[in-house]
Structure 1
Amino acid sequence: MKKYISFIFTLIFLLWSKDLPAVTAQNIKLSNGFEVILIENHQSPVISCVVTVKTGASNEDFSNSGVSHMLEHLLFNGTRKRTQEELYRETDFYGIYNNAHTDMDYTNYIVLVEKSHIEKALDIQSDMLFNSIFPENKFEKEKGIILNEIARDMSEPSSFEDELFNLRFFDGTPYNLPVIGLPETIKNISREQVKEYYERYYIPNNMTALIMGDFDSKDMLMFTNKYFGKYPPQKPSKEQTYSLKIKGQRFEANSKVIHSSIDMGMPLSEIDKEDFYSMSIITAILDSELKERINRNLHEKNRADVFDINASIDFNKHFSLLKISASFPPNLGPQDVENAIIEELIKFSSEPIDEDRRKGIVLSVKVQEIFLSEKPHYYGMVKGKFIAVGGWNFAKNYVQNLENVSKTQLEKIAKKYLSNPSFMINLITPGDSSIEDIRKQIKGDYYQKSIKEE
């Protein structure tokens, strides 16, 4: 019955999506190295331009943690041509949505506007990217805003779990630093440090613009040359390399939390390997099945249920990883949960992969791609990570590479990674220590070690 229902849904999706437009793109590099991806989409009279600057928290260390995020804020404070007030007045007058977002490997700058005002939007966006001046009278104010963001973020229990996991899993790399920054670093960072970072990474040959919407490509290429092509290229910074050494490590913290939680991380292959695409599908299947599998396993041993469990895959410029996270009641032993997860992964690795599940996962990704293409600025925001990590070819071919993975490959890769899994395990259980006390202790250990290694 399940297979029949799966087949019906697959058929409905295929019939529904077969006439929707596929995303076709032109990829052009300007003479100064600035990359432009043009995607015409004439469904609505709007155009978005998402410029991905290929730098983020992974280009930071303890001395300037949060500089990428702070710079994102500061770019809205005025340029050599426009004061902050003039910048805001123009964006309001022309109805320009103007926003930004910082992550580990990239920073996205987004404009969305009615198509007749796209030239003005590109003028403003390029001015912010290349001509920002960081007024001294705004600098301390932005520090205060960011420190409030950090305080808000640090008060969230889920943020604490992610923070501890990243500190330990990415130990010895910049990926164990928070994108938002450390409060002690933000308090002490200087305008000169921000300016030096800006001049090093905000160069045209370190940027890609994904422009999508209701335009003619010839006209849009002329606009991009006019507003982005006039800035000279600079010598790019040398790319760093990192390695992870976390297999089999286990960490535990006892804190004032209501429920217990476990986060398990396993390094996977680089994104240009076939393993990555196979594990992406396998992880999606696991995510849909794990809760039922784990609770059935625990019931057989007369144990309580987990509250929730999920599996996810993440990637960056240097690593990809499988992460399994679960929350469970204090009366359920952490070792019972860990054992159940390992047992079910081993069992999964020896089972045949359902072909309908494989097709369903790939189809759902294809449908998501179509939905994204209907919202130009969201499409650019999502693709920004792919572009920063693996270039436009990685972003463009991701869905096709998933589709190319066979059932046989999935079963082979499941055995490779899950038949004898080795995880870094991070456990948080109820105890007497405050989150802040644990945070101070662990941060001190990890960041002091990082300083000594520099």
Structure 2
Amino acid sequence: LVVVSEVMSHLRSVSLGVWVKCGSRSEPPEIAGISHFIEHLLFKGTRSRSAAEIAEAIDSVGGQLDAFTEKEFVGFYARVLDEHLPLAFELLSDIVQNPTFPEVEMKREREVIFEEINMVEDSPQDLILDLHLENFWKGHPLGRPISGTKQTVRTITRKDVRNFFHKYYHAGNIVIAAAGNIKHSQVHKLAERYFSDLNGGNAVPAGPPPRACAGRHIRQKSHLEQTHLCLGTISPSVTSEQRYCCHLMNHILGGGVSSRLFQNIREKRGLVYSIYSMLSLYRDAGSLAVYAGTAPEKAAQVVNLVLKEFKRMRQDLVSAEELKRAKDYVKGSLMLGLESSSSRMAHLAQQMIYYERLYKLEEILEAVERVTARDIRDLANTVFDSSYIALTVLSSKDGVDLQNISMDV
């Protein structure tokens, strides 16, 4: 069991997280969505508490209790006043060690997850990103939506849930992280007190990395006014030494209102309302994707302009001004993002999950500062290779004009 903590003595709050190193990537295809299903079910009752009693326990101290599922981990966390840290430990330990998985709650929560899936289906901006990764990493669990599908969630049994839970929820696969007005010795004593009964075991391997699948994928969906576009390619992984360079390149390309995509496609030409680029970084793989929503008759022009920006990234060095602005943004957003106990706790946990060590803030800032314009161009020549670029389209039209568009960069 890994326990990590950071003192933030100027705060009165404490954030405590229990991070389990399994997510949708860990799932067999026939039970896709089970990690997310279990995350929901752990709040539905333990051997000593009902779902209502769990809610009452955290409300009684004015705290927050929540959870989330990602592709490579699941997190359960509480935020309380420093004096209530023992309660947070006791409550989280109960939830992740003593769930009962009641059949009646499984039936009810399955319906809740169906509504989550419906919500994505009704949100084109979310749906197209799921479609992109599903096609880009075809046949790999990183390409599947975290919630699974209605078909897979419908077939998950209580036995499946219990087996998956026991396989991954053990000491060798869990990180406990705390940040706030704490003492390290107190955190370690509480962790020992409340988590010493966890079964032992080793971290479960992640499995092989995905293979990028280029190409075009067009899905027609009625009642859409806009055509939604996603142009995606590979990127360095979250553990790569190039990750800082990648974040800078992404920001310059489409990370904000001063980015090239926003300025050249929205501000100068008025072709879109929303356009941006984003990174999806995992242990051994990554994807950089550009999203844009536009009128159907303008879609081909927008795709060509995005490809033009890819090409410019490959050919020309970014300006000194652009690079400085990107570095200031990345460093500033990092420092501002770590001012709360909850964000600092998450930062600690993810460093232990991916690097098995803690990077000082100064180390990260220095690594960002070391990136050069040539580094970005070199990375762009790898990332924006035509053999990796995939186009995903969601539109009420047939997209014939996009089927024949040249994807050469």
Q: What TM-score bracket applies, with the shorter chain setting the length? A: 0.7 to 0.9
CA apart distance, 1:88: 2.7
Q: Give the partner amino acid of 1:225.
A: E
Q: Deviations over 1:181-221 (max 9, x none)?
A: 21122222111100101000011111112200111222222
Q: CA RMSD in A?
A: 2.6
Structure 2 unaligned regions, length at least 5: 400-409
Deviates more, 1:275-284 or 1:397-406: 397-406
Q: Deviations over 1:14-61 (max 9, x none)?
A: xxxxxxxxxxxxxxxxxxxx1112110012211110121111111113
Q: How far apart, CA to CA, are the structure 1 residues paired with 2:331 and 2:211?
A: 32
Cα gap change, 1:191 to 1:93, in 2 (>3 Å): same
Q: Within 5 Å, give how 1:72-111 maps onto structure 2.
A: 72-111=39-78
**Residue in structure 2 matched with residue 401 of structure 1 by the alignment:** 367
Considering only CA atoms, is the larger Rg found in Structure 1 or Structure 2?
A: 1
Q: How far apart, CA to CA, are the structure 2 residues paired with 1:154 and 1:393?
A: 39
**Residue in structure 2 matched with residue 357 of structure 1 by the alignment:** 322
CA apart distance, 1:168: 0.5
**Residue in structure 1 matched with residue 264 of structure 2 by the alignment:** 293
Q: How far apart, CA to CA, are the structure 2 residues paired with 1:181 and 1:362?
A: 37
Q: How many residues align?
A: 393
Give the TM-score normalised by the residue count of structure 2: 0.87
Q: Within 5 Å, give how 1:33-48 maps onto structure 2.
A: 34-48=1-15
CA apart distance, 1:406: 2.6
Q: Within 5 Å, give how 1:198-237 maps onto structure 2.
A: 198-237=165-204
CA contact (8 A) 2:137 2:211 kept: yes
CA contact (8 A) 2:213 2:388 kept: no
Deviates more, 1:195-204 or 1:91-100: 91-100
Structure 1 residue matching 2:111: 3-state secondary structure:
helix
Q: Within 5 Å, give how 1:59-208 maps onto structure 2.
A: 59-208=26-175
Residue 230 (structure 2) pairs with residue 259 (structure 1): no
Residue 392 (structure 2) pairs with residue 426 (structure 1): yes
Deviates more, 1:225-234 or 1:93-102: 225-234
Q: Give the partner amino acid of 1:159.
A: D
**Residue in structure 2 matched with residue 441 of structure 1 by the alignment:** none
- The equivalent position to 1:411 in structure 2, one of 360, 366, 377, is 377
CA apart distance, 1:344: 2.5
CA contact (8 A) 2:239 2:283 kept: no
**Residue in structure 2 matched with residue 322 of structure 1 by the alignment:** 288
Cα gap change, 1:395 to 1:104, in 2 (>3 Å): farther
Q: How far apart, CA to CA, are the structure 1 residues paired with 2:373 and 2:398?
A: 49
CA apart distance, 1:391: 4.2
Q: How far apart, CA to CA, are the structure 2 residues paired with 1:146 and 1:345?
A: 38
Cα gap change, 1:432 to 1:366, in 2 (>3 Å): closer
Cα gap change, 1:92 to 1:351, in 2 (>3 Å): same
Cα gap change, 1:369 to 1:279, in 2 (>3 Å): closer
**Residue in structure 2 matched with residue 443 of structure 1 by the alignment:** none
CA apart distance, 1:273: 3.0
CA contact (8 A) 1:386 1:395 kept: no
Q: How far apart, CA to CA, are the structure 2 residues paired with 1:100 and 1:239?
A: 21
CA apart distance, 1:369: 2.9
- The equivalent position to 2:331 in structure 1, one of 362, 366, 369, is 366
Q: Give the partner amino acid of 1:115.
A: D
Q: How far apart, CA to CA, are the structure 2 residues paired with 1:86 and 1:327?
A: 45
Cα gap change, 1:312 to 1:245, in 2 (>3 Å): closer
Q: How far apart, CA to CA, are the structure 2 residues paired with 1:432 and 1:271?
A: 36
Q: Deviations over 1:272-305 (max 9, x none)?
A: 33333212211101111113234699x6xxxx72
Deviates more, 1:102-111 or 1:345-354: 345-354
Q: Give the partner amino acid of 1:358.
A: L
Q: Deviations over 1:149-172 (max 9, x none)?
A: 222332222232122212211201
Q: Give the partner amino acid of 1:289.
A: R
Q: Within 5 Å, give how 1:21-36 maps onto structure 2.
A: 34-36=1-3
